[in-house]
Structures are given as C-alpha cells and as structure tokens.
Amino acid sequence: MPESAYYDRNVYKDWAQARRIENDPTQLGSSFGQEIVFDIDPENFTCPIHGTLEEKMRRHQGLSFCRLEFQLAQQEAAQLTEILSRKFSDISLVYSGRGFHIHIRDEETAFWNRKKRLALVRSLTRRGFVMDEWVPSGGMRLIRLPYSLNGLVSRAVIPLAKNELGVFDPITNERTIPRFL
C-alpha cells in the first residue's frame, strides 16, 4: 500500500498547461479548474477534555485527537454532506485516515473562481461548520489518494458510502487497517 500518496485536484486544459502552471488560486476558473473538497479533521474541534488545537500544540500533543473529537468530525461531515446534497448532485465521501474529505464532483463547480468558492465556504462557516477553509477555496491542490496509507496515523484512506458515515469506526473497520499491522 503506497504511503502518503496524493493526487492533483486541478483540472487542466492539456498536459503542457499542467507542467507550466503555478497553483495560483487567483487563476482558478480562468486558467485552470479544481475539484472542490471539504476537509473535516478531528483536531479542529474543541474537546471538553483536551481543549483546542492551539492548547494541544502548546502541550506538544501535535495533531493528536481522541475518540470524542473524531465523533464530532464525523457528525460535522454528516451534517455538511446533508447540506451540500441540497445544492449539488455528485458528492462523494472519503475517510482520510484521520478525518473526512467531502468531494463535490458536479461538473459546473470545477471551474468556479476563487471568489465563488470562498463565498460557499464562508456561507458554511457562518452557519458554524468547522473545516480547513483553505482546502475548498483552492489554496491546496493535492488531496490524499484513496487506497493509500495516511502515514501520520497508519490508517488506509478509503471511500465511504453516504449511509456508512454515521456508523463508520476506523478502529474496528478492517478496510482502514493496513495488512502489515
């Protein structure tokens, strides 16, 4: 199983363009497109036991998270998927090895410019959704490749069905455990 493998979410007109273009988010929608992905990670939630990400960083606990934080991320991903499903028809879910990626694959969204992406992200964060805003707004072109290994936690990155999200448990789900463990 390849470790820490990623793919480029950008959509290019041709290979020559892909080789020469910089990932300048201001060019989104004109020079190139990009798949919209929301990144929901457990460490971004405030835990009543462990505190905020900033507090954990001060204690040198890094990007660690507990089961409660994972459950908060899982609930957030389910609610966000529900909201996005009202506007978009082609949505897929991926367990990233730590949290969840929600992919919008509707063709018309690929060439949304940065302003339109930010408007969507900000409308969701105003509603209280917790996410890494720079991912869906176009600031990050790489995303974890399904069926690869998240090297931070030694868990496999796997696609999830929407109806699987609420009951998914990465600790007991054999698909997430690499064969070498």
Segments of the chain assigned E as strands: 6-8, 10-11, 33-34, 36-40, 91-95, 100-104, 142-144, 149-150, 155-156, 158-160
Whether 152 and 161 have beta carbons less than 8 Å apart is answered as no
Q: Where are the alpha helices (DSSP H) in the chain?
A: 15-20, 53-58, 67-85, 114-126
Residue 126 tokens, joined: 């105003």
Looking at the domain 6-162, which fold is it? DNA primase, PRIM domain (3.90.920)
Average pLDDT, the chain: 86
- Residue spans of the domains in the chain: they are 6-162
CA gap 105, 101 in Å, rounded: 12
CA distance 109 to 132: 19
Non-local (6+) Cβ contacts of 22 within 8 A are none
Tens of pLDDT, residues 22-66: 656 566 565 678 899 999 998 888 888 777 767 777 777 766 678
Collect all residues with Cβ–Cβ distance below 8 Å to 132 and sequence separation of at least 6. 39, 41, 44
Phi, psi of 20 (to 5 degrees): -105, -15
Tens of pLDDT, residues 127-166: 999 888 889 888 778 899 999 999 888 899 999 999 999 8
Question: Quick one: CA dihedral 130, 134, 138, 142, positive or negative?
Answer: negative
Task: Quote the pTM value.
Answer: 0.86
